[in-house]
Structure 1
Amino acid sequence: MRRTSALLVGLAMVASLTACSSSTSDASCTPLAESGSTVDKVKVSGGFGELPTAAFPTPLTVTKTERKILVKGDGAPALPGGAVTLDFSIYNGETGEILGQTKYDGTDLQTSSLDDNSLIHGLVATIQCANAGSQIVSVIAPTDLLDQNGAPVGNLGKNTSLVVVADLISTSLAKANGKDQPAQDGFPTVVLDANGVPGVTVPKTKAPTELKVEVLKKGDGPIVKAGSSVTVHYTGVLWSDGTVFDSSWSRKSPATFSLNGVVPGFAQALEGQTVGSQIVAVIPPELGYGNQDNGTIPSGSTLVFVIDILGTTP
């Protein structure tokens, strides 16, 4: 049985996010791990996009993390502070036991920011500077498997290395980086903190009865198409009182999903926008959750989303 263990979650999310700026060129990207004789001992069957199997002699350990690009992709590089979406398999280097594995069918992709506040350092070293579309194998040293308290993740022994096989599905921006646009009358006011996290103030006026979209930053990246997959950071508030009901920022990771799987107003607001843009979408109940409660969202609510468009795939 394929498992997504607590260790997998621990590797992917160990602390609060401190987003940093993401370069748009790989010229300034410095890899944190190199190939070596230990990672060369790991034999991987299954190419990019396929459920892999890794075989290696045990115990396998390193004092410095090593990584090897098995399949080099031609997509954008994974840059510090940007978002990455992955499939990956994790093995105990001491025993060869598989500890966690995504399904490799697109249903449980792992999305995170590429920094030491969101990922264990060994995964950052595994991924950084690799191109989207790459398959990577690494042997992560025990010193790169510590949480922020200095303890090994997932009850690993202090001398245990991990073997990771990762498919880098996509790379994205850390936050919207487009050109600022003039504000439109009648829209909520958005103020960003130093990390790009939005604060939203809703006007004390009657809510619009149709979908309204304001572009705060205009990016120059690819266009979001109907039904495509997107990676976004977003905050959602109620028009009625400005209460935050959902935020990817508070979960410390961008969200990746298909536009076919969200409320119609959210999808319609994103379609035709460009990566790098930040928009405000005011969604009437008919294009949101209608006349039914949804968690903390009362029936008949007009929703306001501030959305950073970080990446898109067909």
Structure 2
Amino acid sequence: MRRIPAIAAVIGLSTLALVGCTPASSGASCDRAASDASVLDLITVSGDTVELSAPVHADDTVFQDITVGEGPTVTSQAQDVVFDITIASGTTGETLVQSGTQVAPVSQWAEFYDGIAQMLDCATEGSLIVGAIAPDDLAPEAAQSLGLQEGDSAVFVIDLQRVYLGKADGADQYNDRRGMPSVVLAPDGTPGIIVPDAEAPDELVVQVLKKGDGEVVTGDQPVRVHYTGVTWDEREVFDSTWETGTSAALSLDQVVPGFAAALEGQTVGSQILAVIPPDQAYGDAGQGAVPPGATLVFVIDILGLDEVAE
């Protein structure tokens, strides 16, 4: 399958690479409490402009929602997000960064910008968030890349534009076709695929394991997914976004025909099991870790639809 490249620099004006992974936050329910901190009264946000009425210093990261969005909620650090951000020095008030971001999981931000992860926890898509980030919640490398001096706090304004699902969250569906692979899920959504000791079907088989209630996949927009693929005969994983920790944005005209057919018409939030025969996969040639003539089994979580690049 085609992969999106690794993120090398998510903030456009910062050269700091975001790498690594941190544990997901707990649970699907979220209680987002506003910070009771007078330091936030020193910050005025007007459009893209951030003004401070006095120097801002925070011993602990504090934040509040200027606008509360009505979209999906960040309940896990595994979720991908997209936002516009303005960063100012708490000491001088100087604007240091104004930029949009690429799609990235909250866990990658947490590695160097723990204050951002705190501001995003339980936030909803469409929210405008202002926060004062404590020095200890910025990695030294991050503070240096922003031009902050030791001990400086920073003011962050986040316009949270997109929140993707971390895993399929649709309603479980009943499937009664015999001889199909079974799927077991880890708590974080990672699938395990058990292929039966039987002949593979010679036609494309698609089963909806979870039915989401989100947007419909039409092929007009790239679809963001997590997936695991195994070969029927070898019963070995040959590709998995769960293993890399990075979701994939796929165009239906750039994947094998069986994969595209399995996705088209499905809804965001759904989990799909697809058994793809060789003539709708890689055929007699195979590709990479896929041997010639292989029947493929995929479990696909549909996380969201990406905006079309202009």
After TM superposition, the score normalised by the length of structure 2 is 0.71
- Taking a change above 3 Å as real, the CA distance of residues 89 and 252 of structure 1, as seen in their structure-2 partners, is same
1:239 matched to 2:248? The reply is no
User: Counterpart of 1:265 in 2: which secondary structure?
Assistant: helix
**Distance in 2 of aligned mates of 1:293 and 1:98:** 50
Alignment of 1:88-107 (within 5 A): 88-89=84-85, 91=87, 93=89, 96=94, 98=96, 101-102=99-100
- Taking a change above 3 Å as real, the CA distance of residues 202 and 141 of structure 1, as seen in their structure-2 partners, is same
**Distance in 1 of aligned mates of 2:66 and 2:206:** 43
**Distance in 2 of aligned mates of 1:195 and 1:114:** 17
Letter in 2 for 1:197: T
Contact 2:66/2:130 (8 A) holds in 1: yes
Letter in 1 for 2:161: I
Q: Structure 1 residues 252-261 or 272-281, which shifts more? A: 252-261
1:280 matched to 2:280? The reply is no
**Which residue does 2:33 correspond to in 1?**
31
Post-superposition CA distance 1:145-175 (Å, at most 9, x none): 35xxxxx454646624344443323334443
Counterpart of 1:110 (choices 73, 83, 104) is 104
1:78 matched to 2:74? The reply is yes
Counterpart of 2:167 (choices 164, 171, 175) is 175
* Displacement after TM superposition at 1:64 (Å): 2.4
**Distance in 2 of aligned mates of 1:164 and 1:257:** 32
* Displacement after TM superposition at 1:218 (Å): 3.1
Alignment of 1:151-300 (within 5 A): 152=140, 154=142, 156=144, 159-177=151-169, 178-219=171-212, 221-227=213-219, 228-259=221-252, 262-290=255-283, 294-298=287-291, 300=293
**Distance in 2 of aligned mates of 1:65 and 1:77:** 20
Contact 1:113/1:174 (8 A) holds in 2: no
**Distance in 2 of aligned mates of 1:165 and 1:289:** 47
**Distance in 2 of aligned mates of 1:101 and 1:144:** 20
**Distance in 2 of aligned mates of 1:299 and 1:98:** 53
**Which residue does 1:149 correspond to in 2?**
none
Give 5+ residue unaligned stretches, structure 1. Answer: 47-52, 147-151
**Distance in 2 of aligned mates of 1:255 and 1:33:** 35
Larger Rg: 2
* Displacement after TM superposition at 1:90 (Å): 6.3
1:125 matched to 2:118? The reply is yes
* Displacement after TM superposition at 1:134 (Å): 2.8
**Distance in 2 of aligned mates of 1:261 and 1:138:** 41
1:87 matched to 2:80? The reply is no
User: Counterpart of 2:18 in 1: which secondary structure?
Assistant: helix
Contact 2:218/2:264 (8 A) holds in 1: yes
Contact 1:183/1:216 (8 A) holds in 2: no
- Taking a change above 3 Å as real, the CA distance of residues 214 and 68 of structure 1, as seen in their structure-2 partners, is same
User: Counterpart of 2:242 in 1: which secondary structure?
Assistant: coil
**Distance in 1 of aligned mates of 2:24 and 2:105:** 15
**Distance in 2 of aligned mates of 1:213 and 1:185:** 13
**Which residue does 1:49 correspond to in 2?**
none
**Which residue does 1:62 correspond to in 2?**
58
Contact 1:233/1:254 (8 A) holds in 2: yes
Letter in 2 for 1:30: R
Number of residues of Structure 1 aligned to a counterpart in Structure 2: 290
* Displacement after TM superposition at 1:280 (Å): 0.8
* Displacement after TM superposition at 1:18 (Å): 4.3
- Taking a change above 3 Å as real, the CA distance of residues 87 and 81 of structure 1, as seen in their structure-2 partners, is closer
Identity %: 37
**Which residue does 2:4 correspond to in 1?**
none
* Displacement after TM superposition at 1:226 (Å): 0.6
* Displacement after TM superposition at 1:306 (Å): 0.9
